[in-house]
Amino acid sequence: MSHGLSLITLLSPWLDISTQCCSDVTISELELDSRKVIQGTTFVAIKGHAVDGRQFIDVAIAQGANAILAQACDDHPHGEYLVQDGVVIVYLDHLGQILSELAGRLYSLGSLKLIGVTGTNGKTTITQIIAQWLELLGQRAAVMGTTGNGFLDTLQPAANTTGNAVEIQRQLSEFAQQGASYTALEVSSHGLVQGRIKALPFSVGVFSNLSRDHLDYHGSMEEYARAKLSLFTEHHCEHAVINVDDEIGLAWSESLPTSLAVSLQPNVLKHGVWATEVHYSEAGISLAFDGHFGQGHFTIPLIGEFNASNVLLALTTLLALGFDKQQLLNSAPNLVPVLGRMELFQADGKAKVVVDYAHTPDALEKALMALRVHCHGKLWAIFGCGGDRDKGKRPMMASIGERLADKVILTDDNPRSENPAMIVNDMLEGMQKPGNAQIEHSRFNALQYALAQAEENDIILLAGKGHEDYQVMANETIHYSDRESAMQLLGVTL
């Protein structure tokens, strides 16, 4: 909760407004959703992608709004103010774009340090590993992202990977008041394009990788890449930590002269950290490195090559922030796998089940390749594709499943308003031998079938939903969890 600013002070960077109209108006809470306005809240009416908030000014006033900040238009130019039912309405140009800065003036972050992580895959794992590691070193750390916002032991569900500009500033201010010294944020391309984090001061920005996703929104890979790059070029970002095993990251690191390059290859990078040796086993990953911060070696109980990359990026971030290298290495074995991210479920005499959030071609490919290293029997892949989303990735994902798994079961993954059978048909187009794929629309039944057919040394990858505990159908959202299915069918508890 902020202590409040006068409306005049809050808007002073953009407007010199008359003290007569609003000298006694104190702004303490901003709200973009008119339904959440209560007595004393200030309603921010912007033209969004789907809804024009200015249509709800009357509603907000009726619910007790103490002032309205509205996006300027031809009828109401920048700087105009009106009084309606005793409530002042102030019109501002580019309100959506200045919202992050405006909210930042109201909600103080104190000494909270921010770490922003962007990329197609790995954001949740990297932010949560950073937060875990900070906690192991005695720091209070929060996260914001796909699996929720808050401290790791009390995560609250989040509607979007990156919330709106007001929610983010308010939430960070609350973390600071609750004693957080650091917050690691997942930074989505949507959030970057829409200016939701525009005014945040990042101590470190991290880039994980870039592969096909969200093309329904960005239109092209070039636009998608440009959105991600803006974290480092158009935002305050003290240190940039870049995965140069990704070709986009390699190109960026050359154009960002102060960046720290990170690689799993023994590259001798001028300014960076690289692995000199990596070993994978069922117990986890053992990694030796060299570079800008000297040499070191650690082991972590995570599986998969991309997790080696994620952890090396997290380590480099914390070294860039000045944490003691030896303390970091000593505490690494105490890190734990992230919920729904390459999460292993096993019971004696049965195939292993790995639940992972992989829902893009690149993520599915990496998950299957990572598990192949650990698999001494057949590798199974159970996955689907979302409805009302990028159709181009459907045949690509099925092709990857056919190429890298021994057995493929195509299932549903949030079909939304589309016919699930049509989504599966789109996927089958990508397969050389579509007849070899099993089709089972119920994810629970798909896993049940796989476990009945699989042998003890087999691994079953249940991909796409990870931490999610719902399935979005045409007219309803039902409760469903891959993690719960795995535990129930294997007879195990966490």
Name the E strands within 96-174: 113-118, 141-145, 148-151
Q: Are residues 240 and 145 in the same domain?
A: yes
**Mind listing the pLDDT tens digit for each residue in 327-341?**
999 999 999 988 898
- Residue 42: count of CB within 10 angstroms of its CB: 26
Q: Residue 121 — pLDDT band, cuts 50, 70, 90?
A: confident
pLDDT > 70? residue 197: yes
Nearest to 4 by CA among 149, 119, 105: 105
CATH of the domain at 323: 3.40.1190.10
Residue 271: strand, helix, or coil:
coil
User: Among residues 303, 334, 365, which one ends one of the domains?
Assistant: 334
Phi, psi of 123 (to 5 degrees): -60, -45
Residue 216 shares a structural domain with residue 181: yes
170 is in an annotated binding site: no
Task: Give the Cα separation of 291 and 55 in Å (integer).
Answer: 56
Inter-residue contact 386 to 422 (CB < 8 Å) = no
User: Residue 212 annotated as binding?
Assistant: no
Residue 464 assigned to a binding site: yes
The reply, when asked if residue 194 is annotated as ligand binding, is yes
In this prediction, residues 186-193 reach a mean pLDDT of 83
User: Is 416 one of the annotated binding-site residues?
Assistant: yes
Asked whether residue 412 falls in the same domain as residue 427, the answer is yes
| pLDDT surpassing 70 at residue 218 | no
Q: Are residues 82 and 177 in the same domain?
A: no
Matching residue, tokens 């962007």 = 118
Q: Give whole-number Cα distances, 150 to 132, 141, 144, 481, in Å.
A: 12, 9, 7, 22
- Spatial separation of the C-alpha atoms in residues 276 and 289, rounded to whole Å: 5
Model confidence over 77-96: pLDDT tens digits? 999 989 999 999 999 999 99
Per residue in 259-305, pLDDT tens? Answer: 999 999 987 677 899 999 999 887 789 999 999 999 999 999 998 88
User: Is position 307 annotated in a ligand binding site?
Assistant: no
- Output the DSSP codes for 204-231: EEEE----S--HHHHSSHHHHHHHHHHH
Of 304 and 456, the one with more pLDDT = 456
pLDDT digits (tens, 9 = 90+) for 219-268: 567 777 888 788 899 889 999 999 999 989 998 998 898 899 999 998 76
> Packing angle between helix 420-428 and helix 393-404, nearest 10 degrees?
60
Residues 6+ apart with CB under 8 A from 369: 305, 404
Q: What is the Cα–Cα distance from 87 to 451, expressed in whole angstroms?
A: 63
Same domain, 178 and 238: yes
Q: Does 436 count as an annotated binding residue?
A: no
Helix, strand or coil, per DSSP, at residue 114: strand
- Quickly state the pLDDT bin for 159 (edges 50, 70, 90): low
Report the mean per-residue pLDDT for the chain.
92
Domain CATH number, residue 450 = 3.90.190.20
Residue 120, annotated as binding a ligand: yes
272 labeled part of a ligand binding site? no
* 385-431: pLDDT as tens digits: 999 998 999 999 999 999 999 999 999 999 999 999 999 999 999 99
- On whether 349 is known to bind a ligand per the annotation, the reply is no
Res. 24 pLDDT band, cuts 50 70 90: confident
Contacts of residue 132, defined as CB under 8 A and 6 or more positions apart, other chains included, come to: 152, 335, 336
124 assigned to a ligand binding site: yes
Domain that holds residue 486: 343-490
Cβ neighbours around 49 below 10 Å, total: 8
**Taking phi first (over 0 means left), then psi (-120 to 50 degrees means alpha), and beta for anything else, what does residue 352 get?**
beta
Same-domain check for residues 382 and 291: no
pLDDT > 90 in the chain, percent: 74
Nearest-angstrom CA–CA distance, 482 and 488:
10
Question: Do 88 and 115 belong together in one domain?
Answer: no
Q: Check whether residue 283 and residue 302 sit in a common domain.
A: yes
Give yes or no: residues 151 and 234 share one domain. Answer: yes
How many domains is the chain partitioned into structurally?
3
Are 424 and 484 part of one and the same domain?
yes
387 is in an annotated binding site: no
Domain final position from 63, 79, 104:
104
Same domain, 199 and 279: yes
- Tell me the pLDDT tens digit for each residue of 35-52: 999 999 999 999 987 899
Which of 104, 122, 156 is where one domain is finished?
104
196 is in an annotated binding site: yes
Looking at the structure, do residues 260 and 111 belong to the same domain, yes or no? yes
